[in-house]
């Protein structure tokens, strides 16, 4: 590697431009990292292979509609606003309601319904649910993966009847028995906190009183670009430089500094922070930790609709045993209809439909029709395919991600975040707090 570094320097014969810090990735983790570094007086360069700022928060507009890949909700007390206070005035206050389509064809409470999944099942089914849960607690105490974790808390029968097992496979693209136990404890902590039979009973006997809560916020109607361009403008005023649509070739360690080859220029710094997919960082550094960490490819179907949609909630998760789509978000509930039409995004994990947009659309139409949803004029306005949408937490992946991160640190590159550490981060709040702690060495 030392010889290759010298050869590149001789070929270009150009002294690389130096920065106090280089941040790879312009998503929330990257932007917060740049903000922390800039406030410390550092000259910072943010590099992203995307042509836009905001990472995987991507929108698509056509004919007055603006759709998103994914569904992300902000809060008005998020620490992200400490870095970018101007975002608050751009957010749209919303009052979202979540629900799920269960295997019985009902749109009911998310993530589980005491009334519909248990009490409404009838005496015989309730007996089976209770017996299954008791059996799991006594005889199935091992928790080596997500299926065993869930089964221990609610029993195998309710796990299947509620559709949770089907949803896990739909969301992660692999069976629940293959999902890493570390991810299960993080992602499905609600099962042990809320869905155990003891807690379900206590919620019936002593319903929790709702105290003051933060306000839920959505991105501007115009899309994510408006939001993140405001953040980039603040960072630019603080001296941060952006290099978007970058053609990152390699990262080489030369005389104590990391040199990033961008094809048409080379930049260097003694500190490089990576928030891009961990396997991509390994490729750039020429490292091989022995296992390629997998990421999900997501297909977003953008629909407009006129008619009876069959539910009142804004966000619906697919817990049924059929259908490739995993979640739909009705954006017209937040921003208003276009003409007389509602509009929404349906997300489909690509490997469930062979990576085909047309197959994803056909599967969605057939499934919602079978369940009495979207009766009327349903029109596909467009679609997008997103690689590296989120990590696939296959069993053992968490341990391997730790090892890959250790090798990157030994090389000199700091890697963290949802993509950079293969870490579960459900909200902008979580991403912000981790980035702050990581940059500050906490």
What does the pLDDT read at residue 162?
Answer: 95
- What are the tens digits of pLDDT across the range 234-281? 999 999 999 999 999 999 999 999 999 999 999 999 999 999 999 999
pLDDT band at 400 (very low <50, low <70, confident <90, very high): confident
- pLDDT of residue 10 exceeding 60: no
- Its pTM stands at 0.90
C-beta separation of 176 from 146 below 8 A: yes
C-beta separation of 185 from 399 below 8 A: no
* SS percent in the chain: helix, strand, coil, step 5: 40, 25, 35
pLDDT band at 63 (very low <50, low <70, confident <90, very high): very high
What does the pLDDT read at residue 171?
Answer: 86
- pLDDT of residue 193 exceeding 80: no
C-beta separation of 299 from 433 below 8 A: no
Mean local confidence (pLDDT), 53-57? 93
Look at phi and psi of residue 369 and say left if phi exceeds 0, alpha if psi is from -120 to 50, else beta: alpha
Q: Which domains are delineated in the chain? A: 2-57+79-91+219-294+394-439 (3.50.50.60), 112-205 (no CATH), 296-391 (3.90.660.10)
What does the pLDDT read at residue 184?
Answer: 74
Comparing 171-175, 218-222, 311-315, 335-339, the range with the smallest average pLDDT is 171-175
C-beta separation of 118 from 155 below 8 A: no
pLDDT band at 71 (very low <50, low <70, confident <90, very high): low
β-sheet with 266-269: strand ranges across: 17-18, 266-269, 257-261, 250-254
Task: Enter the DSSP assignment of 162.
Answer: T
Mean local confidence (pLDDT), 80-86? 97
CA–CA gap between residue 43 and residue 268 (Å, rounded) = 12
What would the DSSP string read from start to end of 84-139?
-TTHHHHSEEE---EEEE-TTS-EEESS--IIIIIGGG-HHHHHHHHHHHHHHHHH
pLDDT band at 216 (very low <50, low <70, confident <90, very high): very high
- What are the tens digits of pLDDT across the range 354-394? 999 999 999 999 999 999 999 999 999 999 999 988 888 88
Phi and psi at 13, nearest 5°, equal: 55, 30
pLDDT band at 423 (very low <50, low <70, confident <90, very high): confident
Helices (runs of H) and strands (runs of E) counted in the chain: 17, 21
Question: What does pLDDT average to over the chain?
Answer: 90
CA angle 324, 280, 246 (to 5 degrees): 105
Tokens describing residue 197: 């039979």
The residue among 243 and 400 whose pLDDT is bigger is: 243
Mean local confidence (pLDDT), 88-112? 95
What does the pLDDT read at residue 8?
Answer: 38
Question: Beta strands of 161-224 (E only): which ranges?
Answer: 216-218
> Which residue carries 């439909």 as its tokens?
353
CA–CA gap between residue 83 and residue 56 (Å, rounded) = 20
pLDDT band at 291 (very low <50, low <70, confident <90, very high): confident
What does the pLDDT read at residue 311?
Answer: 97
- pLDDT of residue 207 exceeding 80: no
- Asked, as a colleague might, if the bond just before 111 is cis with ω within 30 of 0, I would say yes
- What are the tens digits of pLDDT across the range 134-166? 999 999 999 999 999 999 989 999 999 999 999
CA–CA gap between residue 133 and residue 135 (Å, rounded) = 5
| CA-to-CA separations, 132 to 129, 159, 162, in angstroms, rounded | 5, 10, 13
CA angle 192, 193, 199 (to 5 degrees): 100
- pLDDT of residue 31 exceeding 90: yes
pLDDT band at 13 (very low <50, low <70, confident <90, very high): low
C-beta separation of 302 from 380 below 8 A: yes
Nearest by Cα to 397 from 172, 201, 192, 196: 172
In SS3 terms, 341-374 reads as EEEEEEEEEHHHCCCCHHHHHHHHHHHHHHCCCC
pLDDT band at 3 (very low <50, low <70, confident <90, very high): very low
- pLDDT of residue 95 exceeding 60: yes
- pLDDT of residue 174 exceeding 50: yes
pLDDT band at 284 (very low <50, low <70, confident <90, very high): very high
């Amino acid at each position: 590697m030392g010889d290759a570094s010298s050869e590149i320097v001789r070929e270009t014969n150009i002294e690389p431009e130096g920065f106090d810090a280089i941040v790879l990735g312009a998503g929330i983790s990257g932007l917060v990292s740049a903000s922390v570094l800039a406030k410390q007086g550092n000259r910072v360069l943010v590099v992203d292979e995307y042509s836009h700022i905001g990472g995987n928060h991507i929108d698509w507009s056509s004919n007055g509609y603006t759709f998103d890949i994914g569904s992300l909700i902000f809060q008005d007390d998020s620490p992200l606003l400490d870095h970018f206070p101007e975002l608050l005035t751009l957010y749209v206050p919303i009052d979202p309601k979540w629900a799920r389509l269960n295997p019985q064809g009902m749109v009911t409470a998310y993530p589980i319904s005491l009334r519909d999944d248990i009490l409404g099942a009838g005496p015989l089914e309730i007996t089976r649910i209770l017996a299954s849960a008791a059996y799991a607690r006594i005889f199935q105490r091992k928790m080596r993966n997500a299926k065993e974790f869930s089964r221990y808390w609610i029993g195998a029968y309710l796990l299947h009847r509620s559709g949770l097992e089907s949803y896990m496979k739909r969301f992660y693209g692999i069976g629940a028995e293959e999902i890493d136990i570390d991810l299960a404890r993080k992602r499905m902590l609600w099962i042990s906190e809320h869905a155990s039979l003891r807690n379900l009973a206590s919620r019936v006997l002593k319903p929790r009183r709702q105290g003051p809560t933060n306000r839920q916020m959505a991105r501007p109607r115009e899309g994510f670009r408006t939001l993140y361009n405001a953040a980039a403008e603040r960072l630019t005023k603080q001296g941060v430089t952006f290099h978007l649509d970058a053609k990152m070739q390699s990262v080489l360690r030369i005389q104590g500094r990391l040199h990033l080859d961008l094809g048409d220029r080379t930049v260097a710094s003694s500190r490089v922070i990576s928030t891009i997919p961990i396997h991509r960082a390994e490729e750039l550094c020429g490292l091989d930790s022995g296992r390629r960490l997998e990421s999900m490819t997501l297909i977003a179907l953008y629909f407009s609709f006129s008619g009876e949609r069959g539910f009142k909630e804004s966000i619906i998760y697919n817990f049924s045993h059929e259908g490739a789509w995993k979640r739909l978000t009705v954006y017209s509930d937040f921003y208003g209809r276009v003409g007389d039409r509602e509009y929404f995004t349906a997300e489909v994990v690509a490997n469930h439909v062979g990576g085909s947009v047309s197959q994803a659309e056909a599967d969605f139409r057939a499934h919602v029709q079978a369940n009495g949803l979207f009766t009327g004029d349903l029109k596909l306005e467009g679609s997008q395919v997103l690689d590296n949408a989120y990590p696939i937490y296959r069993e053992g992946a968490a341990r391997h991600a730790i090892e890959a991160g250790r090798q990157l640190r030994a090389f000199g590159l700091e890697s963290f975040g949802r993509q950079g550490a293969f870490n579960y981060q459900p909200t902008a709040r979580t991403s912000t707090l981790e980035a702050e702690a990581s940059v500050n060495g906490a």
